Amino acid sequence: MESILSVVVLIMIAVISIGIALSIGRPIIDGTVKTADIKNAQDDLQTIDDYIRNVVREGKDAVRIFKFSSPKDFKSVPGEDAIQFSSLSSIQIVEYFTRSISGNIVFISGNDVNCVQKDGNGDDVDDLVAENSRITAVFKKVSSGTLKTDLLITRLVDKTNNVTVFIGNSSVVINEDYSTATGTGYTEISNAGTNLPVCQIHAFVNSTLDYDIYYKLYAGADFIVMEVRNIG
Average pLDDT across the chain, whole number: 78
Question: Of 223, 19, 26, whose CA–CA distance to 134 is shortest?
Answer: 223
pLDDT level of residue 110 (50, 70, 90 thresholds)? confident
Domain spans, the chain:
7-13+112-229, 17-109
In the prediction, which pLDDT does 184 show?
A: 94
In the prediction, which pLDDT does 120 show?
A: 61
Share of the chain above pLDDT 70, in %: 78
Across the range 125-145, mean pLDDT stands at 90
pLDDT level of residue 15 (50, 70, 90 thresholds)? very low
Residues 6+ apart with CB under 8 A from 165: 1, 4, 5, 155, 156, 157, 158
Q: Per mean pLDDT, which of 10-19, 69-78, 131-140, 167-176 is the most reliable?
A: 131-140
Q: What is the pLDDT of residues 163-187, one digit of tens each?
A: 998 888 888 888 888 999 999 999 9
**Going by DSSP bridges, is the β-strand pair 99-102/82-85 parallel, antiparallel, or unpaired?**
unpaired
Distance CA 147, CA 203 (A): 9
Across the range 60-77, mean pLDDT stands at 73
User: Where do runs of H (alpha helix) occur along 3-110?
Assistant: 31-58
How does DSSP classify residue 78?
G
Better pLDDT: 105 or 149: 149
In the prediction, which pLDDT does 202 show?
A: 94
In the prediction, which pLDDT does 26 show?
A: 40
pLDDT at 2 over 60: no
pLDDT at 203 over 90: yes
Distance CA 106, CA 86 (A): 12
